[in-house]
Structure formats: C-alpha cells, structure tokens
Amino acid sequence: MPSTFSAVKNTICPQKSDFTVDHIPDLTGQVAVVTGGNTGLGKETVKALLQHGAKVYMASRNKERASAAIQDLKELTGKEAIFLQIELTSLASVKRAATEFLSKEDKLHMLFNNAGVMWADVALVSEDGYDWQFAANALGHFLFTELLTPALIAGHSTAPNGRCRVVNTSSLSAMNLTMKWDTLKDGPARKKTSSDDLYSQSKFINVVHALEIERRYGARGVAAFSVNPGLLKTDMQRDFNPVLRAVLYTFFQDASQGALTQLWAGTMEEPLAHSGAFCTPIAKIGECRKEAYDPEIGKMLWEFCLDAVKNFL
C-alpha cells in the first residue's frame, strides 16, 4: 500500500499521462449525470461529455447558477445540459431528484458523484441529523446512486464495453484516516472532531463506497471508481482564508486538469479492468490506505447508510 508521503508527492507532482479529452470516444446515445456540474471540476466534466455527444444531466442545488453554467457550456459546445435540482444534504431532495430523472430516462450510463463541500463549519448539520460533510459528500450520493442503480443496470447492455460506471470524486484526504462511526450523526463526538477530519472521513467513505458498488453490482454490469483529482483551483476553497488560498494557488492546477482523471475513469476502456480502483492524477490506477479495502468496513458502511436512507428507498 502507498505511503502518505508518496501519495502527496504524486498529487503535487502528478505522473505524466498521454490522456486528454480528445481521447474520449464518441458518447452519442449515452446518458450521464454529474452532481455539482455547474462549477469547477463538475463543469469541466459536463463540458467534455457534451463535446463527445453524451446527453448530460447537471444535478445541482442552485437553479440560477446551474442555468448560467448550462448557457455558458451551450455557447462553448453547441450542446445543452439538462438541469436536475438536488440538495445532497437533504435525503428528501435526493429522492425527488432521482424520481425526476427516472421519469425521463430508463437507462443511465455514467454517474459522476462529483459535488462536495470542504472543511465546512462543524456546527452545520444536515436536515436529517447527520454531519454536514458526510451528508453532502457521501450519504446523499449513496442514496442517489442506490436509487439510480436500476437505470445503471438497465443501461449496461447499451454502454461501451457493456459496463455502466459510477465515479466518486474523492481526494488525497482519503489517505488521512478511517472511520469514526460516532461522528457521522450529530452528537458530542462529532462536535469534538475537527472539520478537516470530518472532511477526510467523508472522502475515505467515497473510496469504500466505490469498492462496495463493485462487490455488489459489478456482476450486473456496473463498474465503479473513486478518484483523487489532485490539488485544484475550485469553488471548494471559497471559504478559505484569502491569504491561504493565494499561497495554495501558486501550485494548484486548474479544474480542467483535475477533471481528466474522472473523465478517464468514466469513459475509457483501460480502467474497466480495475473496477473499484482508487484513481490518481493524472489518469492512473492508484491505491488508497489499506483499511479502504477491508470488506468488513465496507459491509458496515453499507449497512449504516442503508439504515440511514431506508425511508427514501
């Protein structure tokens, strides 16, 4: 398993890759959903998918911002994404979004669970009583993916190479720590945990979730990946101290570079031989910390999340 040092080194100085968006195959007839697609990494992902012929649903919280992004991308690509309203910290909203999508489409070929928050105020709790970062980065995506899994399974026969794909946008921070089960719901333990640790835990969960999708649905035509996109200039740093942000941006990459790894995982043939993998920049198969591959942790997480969302399935 990789050391934290080597993982940091490979993130700051990504391994060279020949992959560019020009290598993405024709996606005509393919349906994709990208959460958080109106800005940063998600917007770059939507752009590339549209350019290659996919029908793309932009699942975002803010309709006004999404509409502006859709118009911008239409001017750039000549193609128009479809707005799908979702608030990932509300399980009821996630249910509504999935229901709306399924009323329009019976097949889904690519699901990019891209949206996320970073280092949110520990005081924030979701409307369902869960840690805000766990809800936004992990639990909401878990429910969304489960509700859309029938469409993914239905779509695999018309997907390239016979596999539909789920791509979870994780982070280098997934390397930092594993599970602190008593911090997922609001309570004394969560309140004593740093925002950084809560963020890292949510990104670790993204990795475990992808592995569990492969274990449970791989034989039914669904491939899954988690992705460390690298150190990027995105809206994820919108709440950072301006001085810190300025320092970080001296070596952070643009979102267009960060989108490459998840686009590679979501569209290319090569990664299909490694379904469940933790992908690293740029367009490489990597490894997360060893605990992520423990099937017992995967089982416990799946059961916890299923119980959390049971009223919305």
Q: How many CB atoms lie within 10 A of CB 244?
A: 10
Catalytic residue among 60, 126, 170, 275: 170
Digit-coded pLDDT (tens) for 257-310: 889 999 999 999 999 999 999 999 999 999 999 999 999 999 999 999 999 999
Catalytic residue among 57, 130, 199, 217: 199
Catalytic status, residue 275: no
Residues 6+ apart with CB under 8 A from 94: 86, 87, 88, 140, 143, 144, 147, 312
Digit-coded pLDDT (tens) for 163-183: 999 999 999 999 999 999 999
- How far, in Å, CA of 261 to CA of 221, rounded? 21
Catalytic residue among 43, 79, 95, 203: 203
pLDDT at residue number 191:
97
- How far, in Å, CA of 267 to CA of 261, rounded? 10
Instruction: Say which CATH architecture domain 4-309 belongs to.
Output: 3-Layer(aba) Sandwich (3.40)
Catalytic status, residue 233: no
102 is written with which tokens? 């399924």
Domain boundaries of the chain, sorted by first residue: 4-309
Residue with the larger pLDDT of the pair 52 and 7: 52
Q: 193 and 145 in contact (C-beta within 8 Å)?
A: no
Catalytic status, residue 67: no
pLDDT at residue number 248:
52
Res 54 pLDDT > 70: yes
Question: Which span out of 9-18, 197-206, 249-258 was modeled with the highest average pLDDT?
Answer: 197-206
Res 237 pLDDT > 50: no
Exposed/middle/buried for residue 78 (C-beta within 10 Å: 0-12, 13-18, 19+):
exposed
Task: Provide the mean pLDDT of the chain.
Answer: 92
Element (H, E) at 8: helix 4-12
